[in-house]
Amino acid sequence: MAINQLKTAVTTALPGALTPEAIAVRGALLKRGLETPMTANGLSRDERYDVIQASFTQILNTLGLDLQDDSSRADTTSHCEDVRG
C-alpha cells in the first residue's frame, strides 16, 4: 500500500527532519484539524529535556514519591530509548 505524500506549507516547531511518512501523517491530521498545535519556544532539544526532567522531579516530590526507588529512577530504565539520542 503506497502512502500518498501530502505537500504542506505549514511550518513546524518539531526538532529535526521528519520522514516522508511522518509528513504525510501530519498533513492528514492538519487537513482534518486534529494536529496538536506546537509553537516555537526558543528552547533547544536538550533545554526542553532538562525543563521536563526538573518538572517531573518536582511533581514526584509533590506527590511524596521516593525518588531513590528503582521505579522512579531514570538511570534504571535501560529498556527505554534515550530521548536525547
∠ Cα 38 75 77 (to 5°):
75
Name the pLDDT band for 78 (thresholds 50, 70, 90).
Answer: very low
pTM of the model: 0.48
Domain interval for residue 62: 45-76
pLDDT in tens, 9-60: 445 555 567 788 988 998 899 899 998 877 888 888 899 999 999 999 999 9
pLDDT in tens, 46-63: 999 999 999 999 999 999
- 83 within a domain of the structure (yes/no): no
Task: Judge if 34 and 50 occupy the same domain.
Answer: no
Structurally, the chain folds into a number of domains equal to 2
Task: Judge if 55 and 30 occupy the same domain.
Answer: no
Find the Cα–Cα–Cα–Cα dihedral 47, 48, 51, 56, rounded to 10°.
-140
User: Is the predicted pLDDT of residue 1 greater than 70, yes or no?
Assistant: no
Task: Judge if 18 and 33 occupy the same domain.
Answer: yes
Exposure of 7 in the CB half-sphere (CA atoms within 13 A)? 0
Task: Judge if 36 and 61 occupy the same domain.
Answer: no
